Chain A
Amino acid sequence: SGGAGALAQWVLLELQGEVEPRQSGELAGSLLGDLHYTCEGVPVLIVGHHILYGKVVQLEKPFAVLVKQGGASQPSPTGPHGHYTVTALIKTKLLFKTRPKPIITHVPKKV
């Protein structure tokens, strides 16, 4: 259900490939990278040793983010059963389709 309060607006980040933790171990809590925007509004994402250039896209079909109530379970083949709450709406995505530009340098001295 939507709920009485105004729904939060989130943003979608669309990246190619897989996201894996740098160190082996939990993804939760680990850093992804820094997101900048150029003065012209082009998103620039620095992930590890890569620079990704993207673009801001207004979604023709917005997304709703559903959170399953009562613990996670895999969606069954016949569909999602159980109670869901709409947590947020997503109307904008940052699409990073371009090939990452590797940052080629030696590791800098710690500041």
Chain B
Amino acid sequence: AAMRSRAEVDATLQTAKLNPAELLPAVHCLSFGPQAGGGECCLLQLEPGLCAELEAGRSLVIRGEKDEHAVLCSKDKTYEMKIADTSNMLLFVPGCKTPEELNADQASCNIIHSQIAGFSKNYWELRRCRPKLKKLRKLLMEDPYEGPDSQKDQTSTFSKYTTEDLLSLIQASEEEILHQLQVIDACKIEGYWRILDFDYEMKLLNHVTQLIDSESWPLSKVPLCACLEELGSLEPREMIEHILLSYGRKHVDDGEVFFEMHEDKICRAIAQMLLQNAIKFNLSEFEEVWQQSVPEGMTTRLDQLQGLALVDKSSRPETIFLLKVEDLPEDNQERFNSLFGIREKWTEVDITPYIQDLCAEKQTVGALLTKYARSSMLNGVKVYNSRRPIS
């Protein structure tokens, strides 16, 4: 179609009985661009902060394999994407000026031919969500590192994952992924992210705790250099340093590197080592063996085992069994179904460590319980059970 002329525009104004004196001089003649009907453009509604990120030149990434619901990731946040329908038609127009812009630009030409780039009746909406990190552990657990002596690595046919691999497979932002790698004590070996096999990890920890004991070092000040010297012949130096970083807090004193050992984390690891060998344990027997197994100077407490083990106070004698929160489903409803399948009624104190990680940004455990559970009183104590019948 030929471009409209000023004369044609004026004629239309006359027909419409609009007074040009009441209008700004510039007119936009809108037509549909060549690609307009193609459907290649779509609209994404931006949550606060994302617009600024884009303008600063940073990227947003859409992640998800074909069987996963797509998420959008900024540098440090993850969002679910959902289509929102409007009943209206949304047309997107490049180079269309607002009245302010027209008034500011006195020299603007009288007639602006604008091409509509595309149109849509819907757009993508974003909702901040928890990063989907369970898959990260699952991938790294495909092939845990068992140490340099292990024959497995040479003959292993399992995939090993670099940072780039993980970024393309995990539905989370880069910062959330890197943070989680730190949380699960992953380490980079030959460029690949690895998780230590638990037995190998305990072997390394044992080397360190025995050395601390024989040298009578204070638990708060374990020297890195001495550890590397004494243990370097037994294990790779990187692994010795890794275990110290995993179970201690690094600090520098007078130019020398020391580690303040994490009593709770060490006690917890040793508990896991004891508990994984049976279905359940007599609680008092376990507590005795556990205390005897931890390094000199450390005190065991049941609250160190939150999210790792569960005490059954209803059995006689009382028992304890391994229940790791990271083994439970990631989806909220599935998590609650799983927990209520394990135990019919939970106190808030018992269930909190197993649902804490489900809380969204400003959500409380109480809010989750209100949504997914039903409360009742049992022997004067408030307990929670499933909202639906468990098969």
Give 1 or 0 for each of B77-103: 1 = CB within 8 Å of chain A CB.
Answer: 000010100111111111111111010
- How many residue pairs bridge A and B at CB < 8 Å? 220
- Quick one: given A14-B90, A15-B88, are A81 and B66 in contact (CB under 8 Å)? yes
Contact call B44/A32, Cβ cutoff below 8 A:
no
B41-85, CB < 8 A from A: 41-48, 50-51, 53-62, 64, 66-71, 81, 83
Instruction: Convert A46-75 into 0s and 1s, putting 1 for each residue whose CB lies closer than 8 angstroms to a CB of B.
Output: 100001000010000111111110011011
Asked if A64 meets B44 with Cβ closer than 8 Å, knowing A12-B90, A14-B90, A79-B62, the reply is yes
CA distance A29 to B33 in the complex (A): 6
* CB nearest neighbor in B for A56: B98
Interface of A is mostly: strand
- B279 at interface by CB-CB < 8 Å: no
Comparing B21-29, B230-238, B282-290, the segment that makes contact with chain A is: B21-29
Residue-wise, chain A 63-97 has the 8 Å CB interface mask toward B (1 for contact) of: 11111100110111011110010111111101000
Assess A76 versus B88: contact at CB under 8 Å? Given A10-B117, A31-B29, A34-B4: no
With A61-B45, A90-B92: A37-B99 Cβ-Cβ less than 8 Å: yes
Interface residues on A, range: 35 or more
Tell me which of A15, A29, A41 contacts B100 (CB under 8 A). Answer: A41
Residues in A neighbouring B123, C-beta threshold 8 A: 63
Contact A51 B64 (CB under 8 A): no
Whether B377 sits at the interface, judged by CB under 8 Å, is: no
**B37 at interface, CB cutoff 8 A:** yes
Question: Given A1-B59, A41-B99, A56-B99, A75–B27 Cβ distance below 8 Å?
Answer: no
Q: Which residues of B contact A (CB under 8 A)?
A: 1, 4, 7-9, 11-18, 22-24, 26-48, 50-51, 53-62, 64, 66-71, 81, 83, 86-100, 102, 114, 116-119, 123-124
Known: A16-B87, A37-B23, A66-B124. 13 other contacts (CB 8 A): A4-B57, A10-B93, A16-B88, A19-B91, A28-B33, A29-B32, A30-B1, A32-B31, A35-B29, A61-B47, A78-B66, A87-B117, A108-B14
Q: List 10 A-B contacts (CB under 8 A).
A: A10-B92, A11-B96, A15-B91, A31-B1, A37-B102, A38-B22, A38-B23, A61-B46, A79-B69, A103-B15
